[in-house]
Structure 1
Amino acid sequence: MAEWSWVAYTALEVLIALACCLGNVLVVCAVCIGIRDSFREPTFFFIVSLAVADFLVGVAAVPLAVLLDGWVSVTPDLCLLLSCVVLVLTQASVLSLLAIAVDRYLRLHTPLRYKALATQRRTLMALSVCWTLSCLLGFTPLFGWRNQSSLASDSTNTTSSSFIPPPCTFLSVISLPFMVYFNFLGCVMAPLLVMTLLYIRIFWSLQGRLKESCPQAQASLLREKRLACSLALVLILFAGCWIPLHLMNCLLLFHGPQAVTRGTLYTGILLSHANSAVNPVVYACRIPKIRQAYSQIWRHFIVRLNCCHGDKQVCQSITISQDNATETSGSNKRTAAFGLNET
């Protein structure tokens, strides 16, 4: 790839990393601070889990993607460990999306038992299972399923006293058969298929209930449908951003390096990383509670900024308006339905 293309790629990766970090920190703050009693809703736990995974993409996966392109020379074992971190974060996103889909399915199909099933303790256990599985599946190459040519080269070169570690690249240590058969088909496509079936079942059930229910019940069902549409959109964006890169891995495996140009591969990598920056925007546009929490955080930030500049009159007026808005919101919440569907 030409030098100017590499500079453009690196600059875009930096922008994506910043957007991932800032946007997903805002999501976590919105849920943990801006939404009262948010952790009584299991869905919020899983949204925070997804936001943490997306934040770590900006902090770790994007910088590693740039470095693991021949810019650093480390031992193959360390190179393999760094490459596996990217796989762990991807798997955490997939399993968090799966947990969200299962939660919405249980909420709709077992409404009477939902509160007993989805306790805070069980939700935290589900999150622990998600992240533990992500580590086990992502670090699988460390247990032997790796690029053996890299290992053979390492053992040969270590006999030389002047051994210099080779440049570290992702595909020099991660096996393409592993990426296609295990990671893509087993760890990504299988959960995506399960989630697709769950959302089809959810929308089919909601459509039937909307036709049969009374007008009072329809309002609640419509809110549930809008939320399900928002979460399904997050799933669709994930699939649309990640599947092209996996398809490129399939082409590389079956047709060789000439099947995918370097520029096309970098475009797929950028698209996969951009998914982590898009999710906070989807939450802001589609989920009213998170959108309101965003507004509260920004207003609070503006108040602090004005106070720091000594504009006490503006600070006081905005604080009063915030208090009034909070009281109004609290009054509305006490008279609304529980959970995410309050808004």
Structure 2
Amino acid sequence: MSHNSSPSASAQLCYENVTGSCVKTPYSPGPRLILYTVFAFGAVLAVFGNLLVMISILHFKQLHSPTNFLIASLACADFLVGVTVMPFSMVRSVESCWYFGRSFCAFHSCCDVAFCYSSLFHLCFISIDRYIAVTDPLVYPTKFTVSVSGICIGVSWVLPLAYSGTVFYTGVNDDGLEELSSALNCIGGCQLVINQFWIWIDFLLFFTPTCVMIILYSSIFLVARKQAKKIENINSKVEELSGTYKIRVAKRERKAAKTLGITVVAFLISWLPYMIDSLIDSFLGFVTPSYVYEIFCWFSYYNSALNPLIYALFYPWFRRAIKLIITGQVIKDSSSTINLFSKLA
């Protein structure tokens, strides 16, 4: 993050006639309209896309499963990013000023960090769920139950909220960097400084679950390849009924693992640039230009809008659920028991 230079006589300020105001660097009308359109589209997609995911899973009883409850909770985290983070970041990014006060700046940053780690923890637990489902599909229902899923959801919310609240509301994030924090945060700015200790904690909190997911999904795809080869070698005329059931279950679990694996890859691609830049920037004195920082931020924010698109692309049941919701058929008394898979190939 770059330092704010002293305002010149002709410079625009975030707050005119206010001593210590940040310098405003507005875009021209054309780029400004484009940026607002792109950012607003991401926020709207994050809000309504994830709302559709939550309504689909919670309304239709056929979708009530441990994995889907985790997906609904993940959608809730992405939905909250679209509600509490993206709209205000949109104004900050385009106007280059923060007009919402210092208190809300801390709250905004707290939500930003908390929901990021909540998404990450959800994805990590989902990868564990998929690993068990693919490697041992017949025993899986007794290992990963709804109650286990509930515990995972609780951990995925409580730990990130406790961590971000502790860091941003106790002031430990800028211990030893008070002078730099004061210099960076003029009136109309929202750039919370995080010292190297907490940057390292962030780094570990991000990459430890990331490594777990990479290892588990690598194992999943190795197992899936072995299962595919076994299926090819089975003579359909002599296979037993139990064997047929195992094949069907294995295929279903591999498909779900593949889709959720794509979700994980999308998350990593979206967040890695921001996390790596934050780590490097803390050792270089926060020299990343503000526009580069904003690009990395929005790259990560847009991840919250990607997941519903991934589900719509790979889950036929989600597309049918969206149709039922949009056409208003969910208000019927019997709508919760509709078979979303009956018309699927």
> Smaller-chain TM-score range?
0.7 to 0.9
Which amino acid is the alignment partner of residue 308 of structure 2? P
1:104 matched residue in structure 2: 130
1:115 maps to 2:141: yes
1:222 maps to 2:222: no
CA distance in 2, matches of 1:230, 1:330: 18
Identical counterparts, % of pairs: 24
Asked whether the equivalents of residues 91 and 137 of structure 1 are also in contact (C-alpha less than 8 Å), the reply is: no
1:300 matched residue in structure 2: 328
For structure 1, the 5+ residue unaligned runs are 156-164, 305-318, 334-341
2:190 matched residue in structure 1: 169
CA distance in 2, matches of 1:109, 1:128: 25
CA 222–117 in structure 1, closer or farther in 2 if over 3 Å, else same:
closer
- The SS at the match of 2:137 is coil
1:95 maps to 2:114: no
CA distance in 1, matches of 2:257, 2:276: 28
Please give the root-mean-square deviation of Cα atoms over the aligned residues, in Å.
Answer: 3.3
Which amino acid is the alignment partner of residue 131 of structure 1? W
For structure 2, the 5+ residue unaligned runs are 1-24, 237-243
CA distance in 1, matches of 2:223, 2:173: 44
Q: Which residue of the other structure, out of 27, 34, 38, is the alignment partner of 1:3?
A: 27
1:203 matched residue in structure 2: 221
Which amino acid is the alignment partner of residue 256 of structure 2? L
1:129 matched residue in structure 2: 155
Q: TM-score w.r.t. structure 1 length?
A: 0.76
CA 149–64 in structure 1, closer or farther in 2 if over 3 Å, else same:
farther
- The SS at the match of 1:175 is coil
1:278 maps to 2:280: no
1:190 matched residue in structure 2: 208
CA 263–154 in structure 1, closer or farther in 2 if over 3 Å, else same:
closer
Pairs aligned (count)? 300
CA distance in 2, matches of 1:118, 1:92: 20
1:233 matched residue in structure 2: 262
Q: TM-score w.r.t. structure 2 length?
A: 0.75
CA distance in 2, matches of 1:229, 1:330: 20
1:51 maps to 2:62: no
Asked whether the equivalents of residues 180 and 246 of structure 1 are also in contact (C-alpha less than 8 Å), the reply is: no
Structure 1 stretch displaced more, 268-277 or 229-238: 268-277
2:43 matched residue in structure 1: 17
Which amino acid is the alignment partner of residue 167 of structure 1? G
Asked whether the equivalents of residues 179 and 249 of structure 1 are also in contact (C-alpha less than 8 Å), the reply is: no
Cα distance, 1:181 vs structure 2: 1.2
Which amino acid is the alignment partner of residue 134 of structure 1? P
Q: Which residue of the other structure, out of 63, 71, 96, is the alignment partner of 2:87?
A: 63
CA deviation string 1:18-71 (max 9, x = no partner): 1111111111112122x33322x1110111011101100010011343466642
